[in-house]
């Protein structure tokens, strides 16, 4: 049985996935041809969304260790990797996303970049270099959408159980939360890094969008944001 804090955090993870699915669906309506999933982990969009198959080239970028495990599992489940998916092993803290070019990424094609559940594990330099790569190597009009935690969760001024647990067990798990953006400043953060038409959603917007009808009695964790920005044309 989940306690209250775990339940609202789980609700946030579900809402985050739904929000990013909705962003992707909107881009598919707009004729999306290229999708880059950064830190893909076990993201299953390329396999569960029929509309991606045969129409959209999907690049799954991830840490080599995680990606190796995923490929093994996919081969076991699906028999073979579908042709619309290309794997690009990258450690964001060590490697350049330029590896995408070797994998066939087309910088002329408007692209959606989904970066879900990853920034919090990275350092500031890795986040900034990823945002810079996209701003400089994606066609104008391309979009990046990613989630982040508020810095108040990282510095403990807003205590949350799931954050405390990750930090407490970091020596065993090797995972630690490192990166956050101050509540209310994601727009300024992305604007300074070459993006426009920025949309930043947090708990109030997620509640308005998804927590009604049969979900009206539920709530979602506060402390996390999901932001998207459009790559500007060069001045
Ligand atoms: C919490 S999982 C999220 C996975 C997936 N995006 C999702 O939402 O289910 C974090 C992902 O970030 C990746 N990751 C963490 N640090 C990384 C790094 N330095 N370089 C590349 N990937 C990294 C992990 O391999 C893992 O796939």
Q: Which tens digits make up the pLDDT trace of 189-203? A: 999 999 999 999 999
For residue 163, what are its two tokens?
């954050």
Rounded percentage of the chain residues whose pLDDT exceeds 90:
86
The backbone torsions φ and ψ at residue 185, rounded to the nearest 5 degrees and listed phi first, read: -115, 10
State if residue 39 touches ligand 1 by the CB under 6 angstroms criterion: yes
Long-range CB contact pairs, 3-6, < 8 A, 24+? 3/161, 5/160, 5/161, 5/162, 5/221, 6/161, 6/162
What digits encode the pLDDT tens for the residues 60-74?
999 999 999 999 999
CA dist., res. 110 & res. 219, Å (int): 35
Nearest protein CA to atom 10 of ligand 1, as residue: 118
Q: What's the whole-number average pLDDT of the chain? A: 95
Listed residue (183, 193, 187) closest to 227, CA to CA: 187
Residue 2 reports pLDDT greater than 80: no
Q: Which of 62, 23, 25 is nearest to 42 (CA)?
A: 62
Helix (H) or strand (E) holding 144: strand 143-150
| Position in ligand 1 atom list of the atom nearest CA 92 | 20
User: How many other C-beta atoms lie within 10 A of the C-beta of residue 70?
Assistant: 18
Q: Is 123 in the pocket of ligand 1 (CB under 6 A)?
A: no
Ligand 1 pocket, residue 12 CB under 6 Å: no
Mutation test residue for ligand 1: of 38, 60, 66, 224, the one with most atoms within 8 Å of CB:
66
pTM: predicted TM-score of the whole model, two decimal places: 0.96
Residue 5 pLDDT class (50, 70, 90 cuts): confident
Q: Is the CB of 93 under 6 A from ligand 1?
A: yes
State if residue 179 touches ligand 1 by the CB under 6 angstroms criterion: no
pLDDT band for position 173 (cuts 50, 70, 90): confident
1: pLDDT strictly greater than 80: no
Length of the chain in terms of residues written:
235
Assess whether pLDDT exceeds 80 at residue 81.
Answer: yes
Span 27-38, average pLDDT = 98
Quick one: DSSP state of residue 233? P
Cα of 115 vs centre of ligand 1, distance in Å, is 9
């Amino acid at each position: 049985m989940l306690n209250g804090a775990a339940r609202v955090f789980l609700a946030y993870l579900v809402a985050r996935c739904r929000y990013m699915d909705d962003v992707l669906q909107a881009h598919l309506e707009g004729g999306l041809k290229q999708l880059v999933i950064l830190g893909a982990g076990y993201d299953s969009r390329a396999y569960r969304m029929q509309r991606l198959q045969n129409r959209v080239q999907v690049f799954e970028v991830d840490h080599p260790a995680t990606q190796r495990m995923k490929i093994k599992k996919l081969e076991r489940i699906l028999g073979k990797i579908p042709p619309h998916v290309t794997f690009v092993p990258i450690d964001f803290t060590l490697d350049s996303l330029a590896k995408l070019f070797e994998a066939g990424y087309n910088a002329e094609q408007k692209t959606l970049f989904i970066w879900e559940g990853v920034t919090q594990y990275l350092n500031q330099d890795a986040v900034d270099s990823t945002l810079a790569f996209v701003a400089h190597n994606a066609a104008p009009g391309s979009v990046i959408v990613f989630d982040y935690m508020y810095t108040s969760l990282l510095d403990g001024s807003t205590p949350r159980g799931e954050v405390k647990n990750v930090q407490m067990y970091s020596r065993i798990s090797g995972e630690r939360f490192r990166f956050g953006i101050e509540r209310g400043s994601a727009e300024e953060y992305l604007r300074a890094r070459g993006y426009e038409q920025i949309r930043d959603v947090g708990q109030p917007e997620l509640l308005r969008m998804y927590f009604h009808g049969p979900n009206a009695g539920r709530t979602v964790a506060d402390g996390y944001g999901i932001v998207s920005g459009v790559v500007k044309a060069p001045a």
